[in-house]
Amino acid sequence: NIAMAAQMTDAHRRFLQVLMSHGIMEGSEARKLHRHCCEIHKVYYAHDKLDDFISAINSHLQPLFMQIRKGMSEDDGRAHYALVNLAETEVTKMASDYTENELELFRKTMDLIILSENGFASSTDILNLADQLKTKKMKKKEAEQVLKVFVEDKWLSERNGEYTLHSRCIIEMEQYILSNYQDAARKCNICHSLAIQSQVCESCGIGMHLPCVRKYFRAQIEPRCPQCNDLWSCDIP
């Protein structure tokens, strides 16, 4: 561990600072940043050593209960890196940024998304919750504004009036979601990370991310479930 600790350089510190300011970063951006930090601080750079570089940072973050975690975008399957606070894995970590009724709206939105068939909730359904909040009711206009902030802060993603959890939210809250939605939340059978937008096998009930479905069945003429070998009944995206 002491050997690991010695590897923390100004390049590592700069990388961490930039990631902290972004909250989450797409894989290609993280690779560019890795190169940039190594070049500026004249530290040895190898293009395929980003994960080792991050491991060195993580060994220093461990006593602070923080970690840089790698996750996947459910839209396109691209890798993302996010800085995660391990001491507070629940929605409570958002408490310093949002009011009680905003947090309640977020929790209810999360319920709708996770309990839905496709991992999305419509803005109409979410806005209908605004005047049912126990903490303090919200006007629809106000709720629309709050949803906009959740999207800007990368907790939610929005597409054509449909909302889902942002990659940042999935990476940061994976444990919280798995323990609080045990009947509804599932891990992807292929990449083993939390799957919100997924296809489910009608025979055995396993779930797979859409990008993982695409990749897994790419070369198969007759797509069969990796778990039970029954025909895959969903349309391959």
| Topology classification of domain 91-174 | Arc Repressor Mutant, subunit A (1.10.10)
Which residue has better confidence, 4 or 164? 164
Which residue has better confidence, 219 or 61? 61
Average pLDDT of the chain? 90
The predicted-structure confidence for 37-83, as pLDDT tens digits, reads as follows 999 999 999 999 999 999 999 999 988 889 999 998 998 889 999 99
- Percentage of residues in the chain having pLDDT higher than 90: 71
Phi, psi of 164 (to 5 degrees): -140, 175
Output DSSP code: residue 63: G
Which residue has better confidence, 15 or 132? 15
DSSP for 168-203, written as a single string? HHHHHHHHHHHHH-TTT-EEBTTT-SEESSEEE-TT
* Band of pLDDT at residue 209, cut at 50, 70 and 90: very high
Q: What is the mean pLDDT of residues 180-185?
A: 89
How many Å apart are CA 144 and CA 116, to the nearest integer? 21
Q: What is the mean pLDDT of residues 180-209?
A: 91
- pLDDT at residue number 90: 58
The predicted-structure confidence for 89-147, as pLDDT tens digits, reads as follows 556 667 778 999 999 999 999 999 999 988 999 999 999 999 889 988 999 999 999 99
How many Å apart are CA 234 and CA 237, to the nearest integer? 9
Q: Where are the domains of the chain?
A: 10-64, 91-174, 186-236
Please say if the pLDDT value at position 88 is more than 90: no
For the domain spanning 186-236, the CATH number is: 3.30.40.10
Residues paired with 199 in a beta bridge? 208
SS3 (DSSP) at 212: helix
Please say if the pLDDT value at position 23 is more than 80: yes
Ordered alpha helix ranges (H), the chain:
2-5, 10-22, 27-40, 50-61, 100-114, 123-129, 140-152, 167-180, 210-217
Please say if the pLDDT value at position 193 is more than 70: yes
How many Å apart are CA 197 and CA 234, to the nearest integer? 13
Which residue has better confidence, 138 or 1? 138
How many Å apart are CA 104 and CA 108, to the nearest integer? 6
Residues 172 and 71 sit within 8 Å (Cβ to Cβ): no
For the domain spanning 10-64, the CATH number is: 3.90.1150.220
- pLDDT at residue number 1: 42
